[in-house]
Amino acid sequence: MHTPKLSHSQNFLHSRALVKRLIGMTNIAGDDVVVEIGPGRGIITKQLAKLCCKVIAIEYDVALCDKLKRDLKAIGNVRVHCRDFLTYALPNHEFKIFANIPFNITSAIMAHITTGPHLPTDAYLIMQEEAARKYSGLPYSKESLKSLLIKPQFKLRIIYHFANTDFSPVPNAYIVFLHMHRRNVPLLKEAEYKQYRDFLCFVFSQHGRDLGERMRAVFTKPQIRRLAQEFGFSTAARPIDLSIDQWLGVFCYYLMGTEKQRLVQDAEKKLLRQQSRLAKMHRNRSSPAQL
């Protein structure tokens, strides 16, 4: 029988003092329910349990999970679940997230956290700096499709930079502590959010050197020039050159028309299917030939 094992893909913190310091940077308090993703050896779990009302620890690695259950059995406010976080239904009440993310599934975890029916009020994520910058966009780097999809609902901020020696095994990449805070008032109405995601995915997936070419399927040339002038960008700009405010302005203009919205419908699903096919092709090409 195959036993799920992820420990080889995680880099574990080993200093209790550092863990206490990290938790001290959060707004986690005594009445909070915290979902911990990938608790591993429990060094973070034990410190969270001292502070919050309840810790729900989700561990995929069966060997680690069994050991956690034995080690944490006496701690009454910790519940350890041996399962895949990506299939775990997040609580339908207020909760926060703390996670030392397995770096090889960062994208899948972020999607599960930010696109489900129940969103955390706050998420504190230990992840590779490159990924954190991609999801945060400005002011750390150019915006990306990932950052622009998240920002209507979350504010993102890097609050700590780790030394590589803080982890065992020592990672080859720079690691940071990312805070995601759910906006009290989202930048879009709930009914508009899917349309916004489809619109962005459609534009980002179009062929073309610049926005003038990528948006011509949904806007006329005069409309594109008008949008560029009104929201302060160049028609020669790339999609990643626009801020979230500029994209929201363009999206609101798009909503005023109806004839092109059918073209954009379900663009996110189509993009995800395309990316899945490309990933499968890459895996097949990378695999050794079967003899």
Q: Can you list the alpha helix ranges (DSSP code H) found in 88-158? A: 106-115, 129-136, 145-150
DSSP string, 224-279: HHHHHHHHT--TT--GGGS-HHHHHHHHHHHHT--TTHHHHTTHHHHHHHHHHHHH
The domains located in the chain, with CATH, are 7-182 (3.40.50.150), 190-282 (no CATH)
The structure's pTM equals: 0.90
| Cα–Cα distance, 92 to 290 (Å, whole number) | 46
pLDDT in tens, 47-84: 999 999 999 999 999 999 999 999 999 999 999 999 99
Report whether pLDDT(285) > 60: no
- Closest by CA to 114, choosing from 160, 151, 143, is 151
26-42 average pLDDT score: 96
| C-alpha 94, offset from chain centre | 18
Beta partners for 80? 57
The pLDDT value given to residue 262: 86
What is the model's pLDDT at position 200?
Answer: 97
Q: What is the pLDDT of residue 2?
A: 41
Q: What percent of the chain has pLDDT over 70?
A: 92
Does residue 196 have a pLDDT over 70? yes
pLDDT recorded at residue 284: 55
Predicted confidence (pLDDT) at residue 141 exceeds the cutoff of 80:
yes
Check residues 272 and 119 and name the one with the higher pLDDT.
119
For residue 27, pLDDT over 90 is answered with: yes
